[in-house]
Amino acid sequence: MELLSSRTLLPIVLWLSLLCSYFAPNSADNTFVHCLVNQSESSLPISAAIFSQNSSSFSSVLQAYIRNLRFNTSTTPKPFLIVTPFDVSHVKAAVVCAKKHNLLMKIRSGGHDYEGVSYVSSQPFFLLDMFNLRSIDIDIESESAWVQAGATLGEVYYRIAEKSKTHGFPAGVCPTVGVGGHISGGGYGNLMRKYGTAVDNVVDAQIVDAQGRFLDRRTMGEDLFWAVKGGGGGSFGVILAYKIKLVRIPEKVTVFKVDKTLEQNATNIVYNWQHAAPSIDNNLFIRLILEVVNCAEVGTKTVRATFIALFLGDSKNLVSVMKDKFPQLGLKQSDCIETSWLQSVMFWDNIDIATPVEILLERQPQSLKYLKRKSDYVKKPISKEGWEGIWKKMIELEKSVMFFNPYGGRMAEIPSTETPLPHRAGNLWKIQYQANWFESGEEVAQHHINMLRELYKYMTPFVSQNPRQAFMCYKDLDLGINHHGFFGYLKGRAYGVQYFHDNFKRLVEIKSKVDPTNFFRTEQSIPVLSHVEFRKFITAKSILSVLFGLFAIHWIRNLK
């Protein structure tokens, strides 16, 4: 048996050691930090915004905006550095230096990313956390506001109400969600049947692009502006701020929450909800929540249907609308609460409306949990027999919950190509599947996730087909994970068509034009076209793989 000669082995070893040392993340840390310092303006030094793993505040900064406990474990991959910019120049520096040193950057605004892709990666990366950039500038005269990406929805709603009792903004019902991720993914809320989604009410944007340039709508052009209004975060640039259009609301609105179990005729009420909710008065949004609860009879389970609503009007008019269009629920005026729009936000977040509204300025959620989410769209009503089968499956699985959000109204009027968010006319409602748990451990997590996947699979005959569609803000890695290698485009298409349908093609074209080297990327970002991606495939990892392959072939040949 002949071993490799030292003459043959030495060059290979030298090549491997040089490549490993050159591409090791730690070797680039100090150089990267020096670049950040040099690139930032001397009057606004970036040093105070940099946290290495050796910093005493590193863990607290990282964990402050983790909203899913699945990604706050000792084994969760951590960034090698966190940058928390408090000026646009810091964002520019981060992009320029990361690109110069070929470093992966993740961008986080509020941390509600369901799959953690804005702050977790299997590859070495650094985190650009936007929470310091959270100014809100309200202009009631023009009925608009500039809102930075790190602001939360609760802060936005509070600041609007400070200036006007008759203005609001159609975004999400969770106050601690960050503006950057919410709007860039096409965020929606309980005003969408009246005014559309958050992205339908964006009139300008500010970003830092892949070249480190500050751009607004005029300088970025209409194509890129279209893409950042719902094309997903982490694909086209760092979102700095959105200019939003405020909408008009009455000084008093009405909310209600009514529960019905199967024993209280829930099957018939839910069957009628699906016909009424998408076609009822546009001022009325009725969410349906389905979950398994204990029955009055000990040891048995039932399904509870919760109807929670926001009506832009008083309770008398609401009851009249319900009697006419949805009498099966049997809504009474005593079920209704008249309140301000700002207090209705608290009601929808299960906060007592008697609580001081300043609670909306709290950036931390009331509680944290482990969670998994999935989504679907429904285009045809479900038969009573179909609902009865769903009840049976839910009771079998016990823990999974479904949220149904009705469409219709303004959502059916906006063309599917107006923004990247394509789910418009033809959709009756959107489903969010929820699994929530509080126990740690991989085995427990897999149990809950598998139960949710089983319910999702069971719902297949009732939801959209070819493709089965999904909502970008309800990120779901089950739809596909992209490592942006040679087949990056094909991998991206797997989830991209489900999130964006026919708009995916246009998003890829824009992405390939404005970020051809795919600097801005996540596990589910918009990919670049394959012929461009091929150049990125020749990376340090692929070179090492080729060298190891050659080494192995040479070794085997010499064993013969």
Count of residues in the chain: 560
How far are the Cα atoms of 166, 187, 227, 527, 537 from residue 199, in angstroms, in the given order?
21, 7, 11, 22, 34
pLDDT at 559: 57
Name residues of the chain where pLDDT drops below 50: 1-25, 531-538, 540
Residue pair 276/409 in contact (Cβ under 8 Å)? The answer is no
pLDDT at 73: 96
Cα distance between residue 168 and residue 148, in whole Å:
17
Q: Where are the domains of the chain?
A: 25-129, 136-248, 252-338+365-459, 477-529
Domain range 25-129, its CATH number among 3.40.190.290, 1.10.3720.10, 3.30.43.10, 3.20.20.80? 3.30.43.10
Domain range 136-248, its CATH number among 3.30.465.10, 3.30.2290.10, 1.10.10.10, 3.30.70.420? 3.30.465.10
pLDDT at 42: 86
pLDDT at 314: 98
Q: What is the torsion angle, in degrees rounded to the nearest 10, for the CA atoms of residue 410, residue 411, residue 413 and residue 419?
A: 120
pLDDT at 553: 57
Catalytic residues: 474
Cα distance between residue 474 and residue 451, in whole Å:
18
pLDDT digits (tens, 9 = 90+) for 27-47: 557 899 999 999 988 899 999
- Long-range contacts for 324-332 (Cβ within 8 Å, ≥24 apart)? 325/276, 325/279, 325/280, 325/281, 326/272, 326/273, 326/276, 326/277, 326/280, 326/286, 328/265, 328/268, 328/269, 328/272, 328/273, 329/258, 329/260, 329/269, 329/273, 331/256, 331/258
pLDDT at 16: 41
Fold of 252-338+365-459: Vanillyl-alcohol Oxidase; Chain A, domain 3 (3.40.462)
The pTM for the full model equals 0.90
